């Protein structure tokens, strides 16, 4: 089966995670895909495929004869989709021989070249989108599909390989993908996450990340007699946000530039809440962002009264480069070699996000991230090509072959 055919099947299973639930998985629907994948792995020959009660799928493909001493490579992808946009009733659309131009998606939305200038470069490929009113779910079901296709090829084509370890995780999109990850159960010496963008991405630098919740408690009295008394929490929420640097948001930043991102705002005159994510490749600069928010809260409390504004932070993940650079750059270098051998130009760019691999690298399992062939994740404009996914499968197969040579 082709990787894109698997993606289409997986995309139709709703698996959105949910923020702030405090249990794993955050949504029980993630088990629907997990059960499907566990059974599919067994059919492919992964006899020990296992689904845990916290919704992790593990499995191993034993080394071929003569390759038992090769390093055990892990491949990891996540099952959940972003809660930022609907993942219910996804209807993938397949456009063969795409003409490189604008695409009417439906629901009044158009995938436009002016917003996505890489589109003409996909001309002639088989383009896969959703229907305009949902995301596609290629983040990260494309990664899962590519790993599954790799396993199928290794088994059916008798490709020499070392031991292969697999894990599909829940809740990556809400920063909890490794909350119950069992590194000893995986048993890998090194691993790769398939959770990136265009084919050829080889990523070992990512944002340091934390979430912030700002609580505002107002003083609500009748507006006719409010002078000198009322503290309008909703209005104060806008004042807090206005104190942050207006140009340090996702719209105005790129590459290694960090940002403040307001993800939700709700409130009344009585009370209000703002939710942010803070990102920076430099850990010291991320700390400065936290200090800035604390300073704004302290300033507003001086103006409106103690306890009016409070800020709570939650660390989400850290930059894996600090763990990869010292001893494990061979993972990056071999991924680059594999990418070049597949006829794809390697894209060594800093990821403006994070993956399970970032957290796993800090927990002792070196884990760079590879592209899946997808674009415009987390929204209705998400798209991928069948050819790009095929290249991603070829790249990870060549990585397996490179490490299998160590076992000869």
Both 185 and 303 in one domain: the answer is no
Using CB atoms within 10 Å of the CB of residue 68, give its burial: 0 to 12 exposed, 13 to 18 middle, 19+ buried: exposed
What is the rounded radius of gyration, in angstroms, for the C-alpha atoms of the chain? 23
Q: How far is C-alpha 389 from the chain's CA centre? A: 17
> 270: domain range?
208-317
Calpha distance 270→337 (Å, rounded): 59
Angstrom CA distances, 84 to 49, 52, 98, 124, 163, stand at 31, 26, 28, 31, 37
- 172 catalytic per annotation: yes
Picking from 248, 283, 317, the residue at the C-terminal end of a domain is 317
Both 332 and 396 in one domain: the answer is yes
Q: Where are the alpha helices (DSSP H) in 78-205?
A: 138-156, 183-186
Q: What is the pLDDT of residue 36?
A: 98
For the beta sheet containing 259-267, the strands, ordered from the edge strand earlier in sequence to the opposite edge, are 259-267, 271-280, 208-217, 309-317
Both 143 and 235 in one domain: the answer is no
Both 55 and 196 in one domain: the answer is yes
Catalytic residue, chosen from 40, 80, 201, 356, is: 80
Both 146 and 196 in one domain: the answer is yes
Question: Considering Cα of 215, then 19, then 84, then 201, what sign does the dihedral take?
Answer: positive
Both 308 and 345 in one domain: the answer is no
Calpha distance 376→345 (Å, rounded): 20
Q: How many CB atoms lie within 10 A of CB 255?
A: 8
Question: Where does the pLDDT of residue 407 fall: very low under 50, low under 70, confident under 90, or very high at 90 and above?
Answer: low
8 Å CB contact between 166 and 58: yes
247-263, pLDDT tens digit by residue? Answer: 999 999 999 999 999 99
Question: Where does the pLDDT of residue 88 fall: very low under 50, low under 70, confident under 90, or very high at 90 and above?
Answer: very high
Among residues 33, 132, 20, which one has the least CA distance to residue 83?
Answer: 20
* Count of domains for the chain: 2
Both 225 and 325 in one domain: the answer is no
322: Cβ–Cβ under 8 A, 6 or more apart, which residues?
Answer: none
The whole-number average pLDDT for the span 377-395 is 97
Percentage above 90 pLDDT, the chain: 91
265: Cβ–Cβ under 8 A, 6 or more apart, which residues?
Answer: 237, 241, 272, 273, 274, 275
Both 90 and 45 in one domain: the answer is yes
Question: Where does the pLDDT of residue 326 fall: very low under 50, low under 70, confident under 90, or very high at 90 and above?
Answer: confident
Among residues 368, 282, 371, which one has the least CA distance to residue 328?
Answer: 368
Q: What is the pLDDT of residue 208?
A: 93
Q: What is the pLDDT of residue 353?
A: 80
- Residue 62, domain CATH: 3.40.630.10
Both 348 and 364 in one domain: the answer is yes
Prior bond of 5 cis (ω within 30°): no
Both 334 and 289 in one domain: the answer is no
110-165, pLDDT tens digit by residue? Answer: 999 999 999 999 999 999 999 999 999 999 999 999 999 999 999 999 899 999 99
Both 126 and 156 in one domain: the answer is yes
Question: Where does the pLDDT of residue 351 fall: very low under 50, low under 70, confident under 90, or very high at 90 and above?
Answer: confident
pLDDT over 90 (residue 349): no
Question: At residue 324, what are phi and psi to the nearest 5 degrees?
Answer: -80, -45
The partner residues of 58 in beta bridges, in order of sequence, read 50, 167
102: Cβ–Cβ under 8 A, 6 or more apart, which residues?
Answer: 110, 111, 112, 113
191-243, pLDDT tens digit by residue? Answer: 999 998 999 999 999 999 999 999 999 999 989 999 999 999 999 999 999 99
Angle in degrees, CA 360, 176, 20, rounded to 5:
160
Percentage above 70 pLDDT, the chain: 100
Q: What is the pLDDT of residue 395?
A: 98
Angstrom CA distances, 86 to 18, 25, 91, stand at 12, 18, 12
Question: At residue 110, what are phi and psi to the nearest 5 degrees?
Answer: -130, 130
- 80 catalytic per annotation: yes
Catalytic residue, chosen from 146, 171, 172, 248, is: 172
Both 197 and 216 in one domain: the answer is no
Q: What is the pLDDT of residue 354?
A: 78
pLDDT over 60 (residue 408): no
């Amino acid at each position: 089966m082709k990787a894109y055919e698997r993606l289409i099947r997986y995309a139709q299973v709703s698996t959105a995670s949910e923020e702030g639930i405090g249990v794993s998985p955050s949504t029980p629907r993630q088990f629907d895909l997990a059960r499907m994948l566990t059974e599919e792995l067994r059919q492919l020959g992964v006899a020990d495929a296992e689904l845990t009660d916290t919704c992790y799928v593990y499995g191993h493909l034993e080394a071929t004869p003569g390759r038992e001493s090769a390093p055990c490579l892990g491949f990891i992808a996540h099952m959940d989709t972003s809660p930022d946009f609907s993942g219910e009733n996804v209807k993938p659309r397949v456009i063969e021989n795409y003409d490189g131009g604008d695409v009417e998606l439906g629901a009044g939305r158009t995938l436009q070249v002016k917003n996505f200038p890489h589109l003409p470069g996909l001309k002639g490929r088989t383009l896969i989108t959703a229907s305009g009113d949902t995301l596609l779910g290629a983040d990260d079901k494309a990664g899962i599909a590519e790993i599954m296709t790799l396993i199928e090829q290794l088994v059916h084509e008798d490709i020499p390989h070392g031991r292969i370890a697999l894990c599909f995780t829940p809740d990556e999109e809400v920063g909890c993908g490794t909350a119950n990850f069992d590194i000893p159960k995986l048993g890998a010496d090194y691993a790769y996450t398939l959770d990136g963008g265009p084919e050829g991405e080889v990523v070992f630098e990512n944002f340091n990340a934390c979430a912030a919740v700002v609580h505002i408690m107002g003083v609500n009295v009748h507006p006719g007699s409010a002078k000198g008394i009322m503290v309008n929490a909703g209005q104060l929420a806008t004042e807090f946000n206005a104190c942050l640097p207006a140009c340090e948001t996702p719209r105005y930043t790129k590459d290694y530039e960090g940002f403040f991102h307001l993800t939700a705002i709700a409130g009344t005159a009585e009370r209000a809440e703002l939710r942010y994510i803070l990102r920076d490749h430099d850990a010291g600069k991320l700390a400065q962002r936290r200090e800035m928010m604390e300073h704004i809260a302290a300033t507003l409390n001086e103006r409106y009264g103690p306890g009016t504004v409070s800020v709570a932070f939650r660390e989400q993940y850290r930059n894996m480069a600090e763990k990869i650079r010292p001893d494990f750059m061979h993972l990056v270098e071999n991924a680059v070699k594999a990418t070049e051998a597949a006829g794809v130009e390697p894209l060594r760019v800093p990821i403006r996000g994070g993956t399970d691999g970032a957290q796993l690298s800090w927990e002792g399992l070196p884990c760079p991230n590879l592209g899946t062939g997808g674009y415009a994740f987390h929204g209705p404009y998400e798209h991928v090509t069948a050819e790009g996914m095929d290249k991603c499968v070829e790249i990870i197969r060549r990585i397996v072959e490179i490490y299998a040579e160590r076992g000869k």
